[in-house]
Amino acid sequence: MGLPLFIDGEFVDGAGERLAVTDPATQNVLTEVPFATPDEIDRAVASALEAFRTWRETPTPERARLMMNYQALLKRHQDDIAKIVSAETGKTFADAKGDVWRGIEVVEYACNVSSLMMGETVENVAHDIDTYSLVQPLGVCAGITPFNFPAMIPLWMFPLAIACGNTFVLKPSEQDPMTPNRLIELFVEAGAPPGVVQLVHGGKEQVDALLAHPDVRAVSFVGSVPVAQYVYRTGTQNLKRVQAMAGAKNHLVVMPDADRDQVISNLVGASCGAAGQRCMAISAAVFVGESADWLPELRDAMAAVRPGAWDDDGAGYGPQITPQARARILDYIGRGRDEGASLLLDGSDCTVDGYPDGNWVGPTLFADVTPDMSIYRDEIFGPVLVTSAVDTLDEAIRFVNANPYGNGTSIFTASGAAARRFQHEIDVGQVGINVPIPVPLPFFSFTGWKQSFFGDQHAYGKQAVKFYTETKTVTARWFQDAPSQGPEMTIRLR
């Protein structure tokens, strides 16, 4: 039996075509996902618009209590949700639990919505005149989410948007839709009123319908660079507010004074974790000076990591999401070899006992990589780490800044001066100092730069509240028992 859509407060069988959802470790069919028809998209948006009329009037403390109920349910069901994540993505159970937890943290942040939506007031901006601002919701918002974090990224979007007083239409990845369906079930159980959230499945046609729909005010997207550019251009051309988070080539700069064991351990985890299918994965390392001598130890540490099934406690990570994704990674490994990079560790022929049909790719390490090589220019999105060597921190900073992406970067060093200079001069939105994957907690914002982000306001944190709201400024005067001063013929307030 296939998955349902969720429209107008009810789970309904979709009338459109269906796509098989498979286990990436076995290729067994888990379920079928229905692609929403144009009529179903229209019904979902119409229901969200109608619900907005009353939901926007709901007091912010009541919206906050809904989020409190929801985060409690998510915590109670974290393991169950993680098993669904593992089944349809292949993630190890521990990694899947982390996916769920990082989403729960954003829901917890949404519980503070009353404070987040406070305006500002100045008394007596002129004689007996006060000015104050009100923070109000936009209307119907939409979210288009990727396969790699089927719990976390939807939870970045709809809880905070709804807490701000909006209603929401979620279009998750068609590759792993079971997790978002479960998230919506729990949201309904938490007490979400009918129409506040809608769930529609599909691909490009359904995305285009949301981008073009006149009643959708804002769109949040996470995905590859070409698709993010398309979503941003199409959405803004249709006069929508858009935040589009895109791909990356995240660098880790290694200084010679860094702790060698920490560098190697963190590089292995940050490049191979989640099978490399993270937009914040470290996929490029820049070794400064003598730290390049650590490459043999890094190779040995990566070689000790093996992929496996989700319930294999010894597995470092799971399979790629699809056979096509695996084939793409293998193609890049071949290209890197042909382009002249030194292939220190080749994961192309990786197999896992008992899972002959899994989308396996082993840890892969390249050295002597130059910026003109495709394995450096492109986001591979697999457990492939490319490395380069430079002589100084100056060169390392120039190397990173020349890259068109700006999602995240890190430096490992024992020098406070080097770290401060790096964080100041680096042209990247999220910086880690002795932290390999600098994803901020939800009271900050996820701030990718350059070709890694298209839009003005970023995901979660205070910037997301601004993205999902508008500011209304009121200038007020209450007349006293005084005679009129006569007509005011200038723009000056007195």
Give catalytic residue positions.
279
- How far apart are the C-alpha atoms of 27 and 15, rounded to whole Å? 25
- How far apart are the C-alpha atoms of 413 and 419, rounded to whole Å? 7
Question: Which backbone phi and psi does 489 adopt, to 5 degrees?
Answer: -100, 0
- How far apart are the C-alpha atoms of 492 and 484, rounded to whole Å? 16
Q: Are strands 121-126 and 129-137 parallel, antiparallel or unpaired?
A: antiparallel
Q: Which two tokens stand for residue 109?
A: 């942040």
What count of other Cβ atoms lies within 10 Å of the Cβ of residue 474? Answer: 11
Q: Are strands 409-412 and 431-433 parallel, antiparallel or unpaired?
A: parallel
- How far apart are the C-alpha atoms of 227 and 221, rounded to whole Å? 9
DSSP for residue 253: E
Q: Are strands 409-412 and 405-406 parallel, antiparallel or unpaired?
A: unpaired
Alpha carbon 40 to chain centroid, angstroms: 26
| Residue whose pair of structure tokens reads 């040995």 in the numeric block | 300
| DSSP line for 13-81 | ---S-EEEEE-TTT--EEEEEEPPPHHHHHHHHHHHHHHHHHHTTS-HHHHHHHHHHHHHHHHHTHHHH
Q: Which of 189, 187, 193, 363 is nearest to 269 (CA)?
A: 363
